[in-house]
């Protein structure tokens, strides 16, 4: 147990996430008084304000022995902007980082960054015309990133800019959620319903979604559509005729000629057949995902995916023959029972298929997934092996002429790493970039889908979520539409 006592500030979220990055499985408790401390470790993080300025003080005690005690002058921090709140936050967190880094064997390649979107910092600095050297210095000195992560961010941000700028408050992307799956994978916490149990609701769900899309269509007449993404769940888990009705509703409501990219996450091969793929192609879907997660059959069984690696290969060839311009494949690093050997097997089989996009996730042990309940039964690979596996994915991506084009991080991710999307030249998924960097409005339809309205002048978004239960989505659709309408006006 780690007890944490904050004095003079309340950056509880950031302190918790950073401490968790160094001590993954420890319980963390925030205390209101030093006498409540009852664990092996006590962290005191204090913000002192005096005539001399703001000072961050961190003390760490292990087994009642003081092992770290430092003061850090907040004024000396340079993050490329005079934002006192942000400088105080960086000062407090980087002082804690220095202490945890000293006492923990775990490394934190992302330094003090605990958020999901590390690229935002680089886009901000590029907006101000900062040079490469200055940006790398800020990332490594102030945010404590390892140089390879700083360089990765710089490279990706530069690749993304032509797709994000110029900003336009009248442009939007459309996300449509189909929250059905054949079975539940043990690591997954996305809102999704098993088709076996909820299959009887697919028609009513389709009716409600079509109704929502029609209403959104009449709300968005002043806006221009840019990309469409149908995700889930597994959109291809519902009958092809339902999915086709949804796609045609999109074309009925939005200008087809303006759509730059239309993705359908086909996902699991056990939901894909020739009829489904032909329907998608006939309806001008130009990007699909066929996701192995791993090409090792024993792991596929263990994680609850009822398909084999051979099914992946067959479906992939089928999609190639039909002629989809972009096929993406998702993999997860750090799945139970997998090490370097298994990831090499997976990557060499993917290399033979040669997809245009490859998305590499690092396993996140999420609350709400079945995996969280049974995590102790598995041997999870330690940080260094995860790191080697990630390096191997980079090597293979390089050989396959795939370059990193988007990146995000998640909470509870193994070994403090990241998720990276790779693409062949000019085959980057525009929706993924726009959604992650939050510089364009996303209007989202369907159960659990979250709309994000972008206000370019203030460079901020407003989240407008739909409810996460199937029945409630159907019952409360008008209420959710009214909320979208009010944010758009
Ligand atoms: C919303 S899922 C939908 C994909 C599709 N239903 C499928 O399973 O093929 C998108 C991707 O997130 C990744 N993912 C889901 N849960 C994860 C977790 N706990 N840790 C790491 N990656 C995860 C998987 O690679 C998955 O393909
Ligand atoms: S990973 Fe995909 S198929 Fe598996 S439960 Fe999650 S959304 Fe469904």
Spans of all domains in the chain: 1-101, 107-157, 166-482
H-state helical runs in 23-146: 84-103, 119-127, 132-137
Residue nearest to atom 21 of ligand 1 (CA): 363
Tell which atom from ligand 2 comes closest to the C-alpha of 237.
Answer: 3
pLDDT, position 376:
60
Asked if 1-101 and 166-482 have one fold, the answer is no
In this predicted structure, which of 79-93, 198-212, 301-315 has the lowest mean pLDDT? 79-93
pLDDT at 439 (0 to 100): 94
The CATH code that applies to domain 1-101 is 3.30.160
Q: Which three-class secondary structure state does DSSP give residue 336? A: coil
Pocket test for ligand 1, best of 291, 346, 374 (most atoms within 8 A of CB): 291
Pick the atom of ligand 2 nearest to 188's CA.
Answer: 6
Distance set, CA 432 to CA 27, 105, 357, 468 (Å): 34, 34, 12, 22
Q: Which ligand ends up closest to the CA of 231? A: 1
Question: Residue 100 Cα, ligand 2 centroid: separation in angstroms?
Answer: 35
Residue with tokens 């005191």: 44
pLDDT category of residue 380 using cuts at 50, 70 and 90: low
Write down the pTM of the prediction.
0.92
CA-nearest residue, atom 4 of ligand 2: 185
Percent of the chain with pLDDT over 90: 78
Which of ligand 1's atoms lies nearest the C-alpha of 189?
Answer: 16
Ligand 1 within 6 A of 187 CB?
Answer: yes
**Residue 232 near ligand 1, beta carbon < 6 Å:** yes
Round to whole Å and give the CA distance between 172 and 191. Answer: 24
Reply yes or no on whether the pLDDT at 379 is more than 70: no
Q: What pLDDT digit, counting tens, does each position of 413-462 carry?
A: 777 789 999 999 999 999 999 999 999 999 999 999 999 999 988 889 99
Average confidence (pLDDT) over 167-196? 92
Fold adopted by 166-482 = pyruvate-formate lyase- activating enzyme (3.80.30)
Please, what is the angle between helix 309-322 and helix 340-353, to 10°? 20
Are 215 and 446 spatial neighbours (Cβ–Cβ below 8 Å)?
no
From the CA of 328, which ligand is nearest? Answer: 1
| Protein residue closest via CA to atom 6 of ligand 2 | 188
pLDDT at 378 (0 to 100):
55
> Percent of the chain having pLDDT more than 70?
97
CA distance 90 to 78: 10
Q: Which residues contact 451 (CB under 8 A, 6 or more apart)?
A: 175, 441, 442, 443, 444, 463, 464, 465, 466, 484, 487
Say what the pLDDT of residue 434 is. Answer: 96
Closest protein CA for atom 14 of ligand 1: 188
Q: Is the pLDDT of residue 368 over 90?
A: no
List all residues 6 or more positions away from 185 whose beta carbon is below 8 Å from its beta carbon. Answer: 293, 303, 304, 305
Say whether pLDDT at 284 is over 60.
yes
Closest atom of ligand 2 to 181 CA is 8
């Amino acid at each position: 147990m780690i007890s944490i006592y904050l004095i003079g500030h309340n950056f509880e979220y950031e302190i918790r996430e950073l401490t968790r990055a160094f001590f993954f499985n420890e319980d963390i408790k925030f205390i209101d008084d030093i006498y409540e401390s009852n664990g092996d470790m006590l962290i005191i993080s204090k913000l002192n304000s005096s005539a001399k300025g703001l000072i961050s003080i961190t003390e760490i005690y292990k087994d009642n022995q003081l092992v770290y005690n430092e003061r850090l002058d907040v004024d000396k921090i340079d993050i490329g902007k005079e934002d006192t709140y942000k400088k105080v936050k960086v000062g407090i967190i980087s002082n804690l980082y220095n202490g945890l880094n000293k006492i923990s064997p775990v490394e934190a390649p992302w330094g003090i960054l605990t958020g999901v979107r590390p690229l935002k910092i680089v886009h901000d600095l590029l907006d101000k015309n900062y040079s490469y050297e200055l940006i790398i210095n800020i990332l490594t000195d102030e945010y404590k990133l390892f140089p390879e992560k700083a360089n990765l961010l710089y490279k990706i941000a530069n690749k993304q800019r032509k797709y994000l700028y110029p900003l336009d408050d009248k442009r939007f992307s459309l996300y449509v959620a189909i929250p059905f799956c054949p079975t539940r994978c043990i690591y997954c916490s996305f809102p999704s319903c098993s088709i076996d149990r909820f299959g009887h609701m697919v028609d009513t769900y389709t009716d409600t979604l079509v109704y929502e899309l029609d209403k959104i269509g009449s709300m968005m007449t002043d806006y221009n559509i840019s990309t469409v993404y149908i995700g889930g769940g597994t959109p291809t888990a519902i009958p092809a005729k339902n999915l086709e009705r949804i796609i045609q509703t999109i074309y009925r409501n939005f200008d087809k000629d303006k759509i730059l990219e239309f993705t359908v996450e086909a996902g699991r091969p056990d939901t894909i057949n020739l009829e489904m793929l032909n329907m998608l192609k006939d309806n001008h879907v130009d990007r699909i995902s066929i996701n192995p997660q791993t090409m090792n059959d024993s792991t596929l069984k263990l994680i609850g995916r009822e398909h084999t690696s051979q099914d992946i290969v067959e479906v992939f060839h089928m999609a190639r023959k039909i002629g989809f311009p972009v096929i993406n494949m998702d993999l997860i690093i750090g799945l139970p029972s997998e090490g370097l050997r298994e990831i090499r097997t997976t990557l060499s089989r993917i290399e033979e298929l040669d997809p245009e996009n490859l998305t590499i996730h690092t396993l996140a042990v999420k609350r709400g997934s079945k995996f969280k309940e049974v995590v102790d039964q598995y041997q999870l690979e330690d940080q260094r092996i995860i790191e080697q596996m990630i390096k191997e994915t980079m090597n293979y991506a390089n050989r396959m002429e795939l370059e990193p084009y988007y990146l995000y991080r998640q909470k509870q991710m193994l070994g403090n790493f990241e998720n990276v999307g790779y693409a062949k030249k000019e085959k980057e998924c525009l929706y993924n970039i726009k959604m992650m960097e939050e510089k364009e409005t996303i209007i989202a339809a369907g159960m659990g889908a979250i709309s994000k309205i972008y206000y370019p002048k203030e460079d901020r978004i407003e989240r407008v979520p739909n409810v996460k239960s199937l029945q409630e989505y159907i019952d409360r659709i008008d209420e959710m539409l009214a909320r979208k309408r009010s944010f758009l006006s």
